[in-house]
Structure 1
Amino acid sequence: MTIEQTLLDSKKNPPPETVQRTLQTVLKFLRTEANQTALQNRIPAAATHVRRRHNYYYDEKFFEHDPKAGIVRNVYGQRVVRVSEDFITGLLAGLEEEVGEAAGEIMYKAGYQWGLEDMASFVPRVQAEFLVQFEKMSMGMMLESWWWPLQIEGWGAWRYDFRQHKQGLIFIDLYESAVAQSLGDVGKVVCYFYAGMFAAVFSVLARRELAGIEIQCYSMGEDYCKFLISTAKRVNAAAFWRNEGATSKDILKKLSTV
């Protein structure tokens, strides 16, 4: 299954403005004559400095240090910051102290915007790396290429589930969430940033607005976190059931009725 086969007709389902801006950036790159010619000639047009190595299994291969400037970058030139679990815990605690229950919504929106921006830079990068048009890539290869840098940076390992995509349901299992493992067992879901990020990425791929929600969390004593990506109607229903105490298995059963 290629990305091209799974994309929806954006004319029939116009995406919201934020997703539309990201799509315009992505599609502009895909359609430029220079880019198409470069791909046909097997010359990376997006970034001639992109490294052609695909696997970075060690920190010293993936990160580049500049001790004099005090800067760390990954192999794609993106600046990264190493933080401790105390930093993550303090950041979220400070946000909750300032805005209360709205902290989750703020983190979700931050994750959503981050996901949109990341996809806008990822598309030209992955085309240059693999010399394949983005819409012709297999979905599995594309998604793993997007997630791998995040995994080596400490965001955790994931497993996506498309078995119910024809019903409009996508599920993601996340292992070793940086947020949940930092906070520990606090009896509630905490990975709002991830939920927003996943929602943004699949909104761009589907060319319509999707929403995301965490329906199972390591911070609730579970072995791993689980997310649902679907329409806002279904996500809102899942949020209601979750807040009423439903387990992820209960929510999965109820979704068929929405």
Structure 2
Amino acid sequence: MSKEPQLTNAIPLENRSMSAELNASLDQPTEDALQLVWKEQADLKAVTLLRRSGITDGTIHRTMSVVHGTQPYKHNHYHDEEFFRADPAKGTLSNPYGQRMMRVSEDFVVALLGALEDEVGQGGAREIMYKCGFQWGLRDMKHFLPRMQAEFEAELDRQRMDFLAETWWWPLTITGWGTWRYDFRQRDKGLLFIELYESAVAQSVGDIGSVICYFYAGLFASTFSVLSKRSLGCVEMQCYATGEDYCKFVISDYKKVDAAAFWRGEGATASDIMKRLQNM
């Protein structure tokens, strides 16, 4: 599984404290706890580096306004020259939102997974990675939603779910976590499907014959728990690390997620699992 070292992922280092309610459960927060994230006020400080002076006073409106001409904020900042802010004198790297970051190689990812398995076994390592992804997602959303209000100068409950999701994912794309495609067409049945391309984890370990993107599953579970304001789980149905072209996940309530995990363990394909879930 060893590969030539190369810089792939950038990881935010900032880790501000969160409420006790969110920390009470590592992967199943209550609906009341999720509501707390939505009550965060707009964070104008987080978009200071994106703001163009003299165009807006920073007022947050009920709905998003159409701005003709120069925009108050640089929305298209997802490229290397704009997104990564290096300070050679201090030896630091940060993003446009003021968060410290670090670059890691594929070997780092492989070593991290290997060390966890050595300490707690394969099952324990996968549970830890899922919960790490879940907690990272909660913290990321806690920063993202106030930033979203500030950048687009509009209250959150008037912004579309797909717009929120896409804007949340773009920083992850530029920092090396891959690209995605989501499918809301089965939302009336309580099912959301995600296709993940260029998974940083799966591409690092290569074809090992088993699903490996537990970190992403936790990340997707917490993010869409916050966006939907109800506690959800996520399971990977197919993985690049098993020879597939891309990874595929389902996000739903815990009963459906547990069922999907069981069927996957029994050898069912992603297509089979999707059909079974739609009939539950």
> Deviation string for 1:170-195 (max 9, x for gaps)?
00000000000001100001000100
Matched residues in 2 for 1:69 and 1:190: separation? 36
The 8 Å contact of residues 215 and 227 in structure 1, kept in 2 or not, is answered as yes
Counterpart contact for 2:107–2:204, Cα < 8 Å: yes
- Of 134, 149, 155, the residue aligned with 1:112 is 134
Please tell me the residue identity of whatever aligns with 2:61: Q
Distance 1:114 1:190 in 2: 17
Q: Secondary structure at the match of 1:223?
A: coil
Q: What residue number does 1:23 align with? A: 35
Structure 2 length as normaliser, TM-score? 0.78
Equivalent in the alignment of 1:231: 253
Among candidates 209, 223, 230, match of residue 208 of structure 1: 230
After superposition, where does 1:55-204 map in structure 2 within 5 Å? 55-100=76-121, 101-204=123-226
Q: Distance in 1 between matches of 2:136 and 2:266?
A: 30
Quote the Cα distance in structure 2 between the aligned partners of 1:196 and 1:183. Answer: 19
Q: Percent identity?
A: 55
The change in CA–CA distance for 1:27 and 1:151 in structure 2 (over 3 A counts) is same
Q: Contact 1:89/1:182 (CA < 8 Å) preserved in 2?
A: yes
The CA RMSD measured in Å over matched residues stands at 2.0
| C-alpha contact (below 8 Å) 2:34/2:229 kept by paired residues | no
CA distance in 2, matches of 1:127, 1:185: 41
SS at the partner of 1:52? coil
In structure 1, what is the Cα distance between the partners aligned to 2:150 and 2:111?
39
> Using the alignment, how far apart are the partners of 2:155 and 2:182 within structure 1?
23
Could you list the runs of 5+ residues in structure 2 that have no partner in the other structure?
Answer: 1-27, 43-57, 64-71
Deviation at 1:57, TM superposition (A): 4.2
Q: CA–CA distance in 1 between the matches of 2:30 and 2:87?
A: 35
The amino acid of 1:240's aligned partner reads F
Quote the offset at 1:41 in angstroms.
9.7
Change (3 A) 1:70 1:131: same
Please give the alpha-carbon distance, in whole angstroms, between the structure 2 residues aligned to 1:108 and 1:156.
18
Distance 1:251 1:40, change over 3 A: closer
SS of match in other structure, 2:234: strand
Deviation at 1:38, TM superposition (A): 2.8
- Aligned equivalents of 1:118 and 1:20: distance in 2? 18
**Matched residue count:** 230
Q: What SS class does the counterpart of residue 40 from structure 1 fall into?
A: coil
Aligned partner of 1:97: which letter?
D
**Counterpart in 2 of 1:4?**
none
Task: Letter of the 1:38 partner, please give it.
Answer: T
Name the structure where helix makes up a greater proportion of residues: 1
